[in-house]
């Protein structure tokens, strides 16, 4: 099984990395047979072709299925942000902290006009049905290194069902709360990080947490260009796989 972290619109780099990993051919078509591949979200924003990345992942899902493999994807906070921009625009969110809207946050977080203009209802329908967490081969797969998932249910099924219900309902304040929770991070850092990881795995399953969202370079205090692989931490219970592609880091295709 392989996992890929945050791509942020860098389609060419993603195809090249998958090709080096012998998962696709040079044209980006599935060649890995019955292999399993998981994307951990954040396909869009900050880079030139987020919609192209979504289209690739959707197509690879179909091609892998035909070959006996599986390509699956989690929903990231940037997908929620882009969809929120598409649905709600600059409608103000009730807040005690000044003006807040999806439009404002989208612009502040690397929103790309090209992604917004090419986003369709077909993309929305696919995205809102993605899970936000999953267990695969004893790995608890999350987009965000946060404990916010605990607020949505006692099982993965409850968590994914709750988030799906929120996204299908298209109610502004609930969408905003969902996006805001998914932006929190660093829950597994520090001396208690292993215990926090255990808390999530005790509830949801898995023997190791694998996440994107927080750039490895930021956690290590180095440049993204210096990242050369995933980062294991929290007593070996957590693996970070966001190489910081948008910041000059590598597109990590990580075997588990």
Domain residue spans in the chain? Answer: 2-250
Q: Is the pLDDT of residue 97 over 90?
A: no
Q: Is the pLDDT of residue 95 over 90?
A: no
Query: pLDDT for 136-191, tens place per residue?
Result: 999 999 999 999 999 999 999 999 999 999 999 999 999 999 999 999 999 999 99
What is the H or E stretch that residue 140 is in?
A: strand 139-142
Full-model pTM: 0.97
Question: What percentage of the chain's residues is helix, strand, coil (to nearest 5)?
Answer: 45, 15, 45
Is residue 28 classed exposed, middle or buried when 0-12, 13-18 and 19+ CB atoms within 10 A define those classes?
buried
Q: Which CATH superfamily is domain 2-250 in?
A: Metallo-dependent phosphatases (3.60.21.10)
Q: Would you give the DSSP letter of residue 80?
A: H
């Amino acid at each position: 099984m392989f996992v890929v972290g945050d791509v942020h619109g860098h389609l060419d780099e993603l195809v090249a990395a998958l090709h080096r990993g012998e998962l696709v051919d040079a044209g980006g078509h599935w060649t890995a047979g019955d292999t399993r591949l998981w994307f951990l979200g954040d396909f869009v924003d900050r880079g030139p072709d987020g919609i192209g990345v979504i289209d690739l992942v959707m197509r690879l899902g179909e091609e892998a299925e035909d070959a006996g493999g599986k390509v699956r994807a989690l929903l990231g906070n940037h997908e929620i942000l882009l969809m929120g921009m598409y649905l709600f625009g600059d409608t103000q969110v009730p807040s005690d902290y000044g003006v807040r809207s999806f439009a404002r946050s989208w612009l502040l977080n690397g929103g790309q006009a090209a992604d917004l203009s090419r986003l369709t209802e077909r993309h929305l329908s696919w995205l809102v049905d993605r899970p936000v967490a999953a267990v695969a081969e004893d790995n608890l797969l999350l987009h965000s290194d946060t404990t916010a998932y605990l607020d949505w249910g006692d099982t993965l099924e409850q968590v994914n069902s709750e988030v799906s219900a929120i996204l299908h309902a298209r109610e502004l304040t609930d969408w905003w709360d969902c996006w805001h929770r998914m932006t929190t991070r660093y829950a597994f850092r520090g001396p208690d990080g292993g215990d926090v990881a255990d808390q999530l795995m005790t509830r949801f399953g898995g023997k190791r947490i694998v996440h994107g969202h927080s750039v490895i370079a930021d956690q290590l205090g180095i440049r993204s260009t210096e990242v050369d692989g995933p980062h294991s931490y929290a007593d070996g219970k957590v693996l970070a796989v966001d190489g910081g592609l948008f910041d000059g880091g590598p597109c990590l295709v990580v075997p588990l």
